Structure 1
C-alpha cells in the first residue's frame, strides 16, 4: 500500500482545476520534448537499430499529447470524485493516487533525456519499467475511486507497455549503448532522410 506523501505530491489545486490538471502534463511533456532538440532526437531514433513494429517518429507527438491529456483528465476526475466522497477509504485512495500520479509523471519526464540526451538505454529502460509498474498500480487505485478515471488511464498504460518493448528492444539490438550512433547521411540531405538505419535501401 502506497502512502500519501504531501511533500512529493503535486498541490491539490493542480488536481482540482480541470484546465490545470489537463494542460500541466501536456505542457511539461512538450517542454521536455523541445529541450532534447526534436530534430536531433529524430535523427538518433532513426539511426538506432529498432525492433519490429516501431512507429515512425511523427507518430509520437500527437499520441503523447492525447495520452497526457487523458492522464490529466483522469487526475482531475479521480481527485474531485474521491475528495467529495463520504467514504474515508475512497478519500485515502484518492490521496495515495495523487502521490503515485506525481511519481509516475516524474518518471515519465526523465525517460526522454535519459534515452536520447544522455544515451543511457539501460537506465531509460529501468525507468520505463518502473513507470509502467507505478502507472498500473495507479490505474488500479484510482479505478477504485472512479471507474472513468481508471479507464482514462488505460490507453496510457497500454502505450507504456509498448514503449517498454521499444526501449528494451532498441537497447538490446544496439548492445545497450548508443555511443557514436550517427547516421552516415550528408548534411544537405539529412533533414529529408526518413529511413531507419536498419531498413533496406530503396531499389531504383
Structure 2
C-alpha cells in the first residue's frame, strides 16, 4: 500500500500553469501577432505602391506605342471642299496640337480613323477619335469626347520636310490643306507639367504613306 502511495505522490505533485504565466504567454503572443501583422501590412503597402507605379508605366508605354503606330499609319485622306469642289488632304499640324487620319484604330474599327492630340492646362495630353468616312472629319472630332491619354504631360509637335535643296528640316506647323502632302515624319515632345520625378518623352514616327495617289503635292509652297 505504501508503495502504491509512493508511486502516486509524484502525480499529485504536478500542477498546471499559474494565472500570471497564462497572462504573460497571451501578452507575448499578442505582441508577436502585432509585429507580424504590421510587417505584413508594410509588405502589402509596398507591393501596392510598386504595382501602381508599374501599371502607370505600362499604361504610359502602351499609349506611346499606340501613338507611334497611328502616326506611322497616317494616311493622306482626301475630301472634297463643298465650296470650291476641290480635293484636299486632311492633316492639320500645329505646334500644340495635331489632327490626322490613320489606318490604325485603337478601337479596332473598320475603315480609317481620325485622331486629334492636344494638351490642356495642367491636366495632360488628350485624345479624340472619330470615323474618317469620306469627308472632312473636323466636325466629328469636335463632337468626340476627349480622353485623357497622358496625364501630367504637355506636348509640342514638329514636322519633317525636305526643302528644294533636299535638306531635311523640322517646322512647327503643317497645313496639308495647302501642301496636299503629309510630312516625312512627326516629332512629339512630351515633358512633365509639374516638378514630378518624370523624364521627358519623345516620339519620332516616320510617315509611311505621304502622298495621295491622285492629288499632286504643292511642294513649291513648302519653304
Select the structure that is richer in helix.
Answer: 1
TM-score by length of 2: 0.24
TM-score by length of 1: 0.26
> Larger relative CO (CA 8 A, sep 6+): 1 or 2?
1
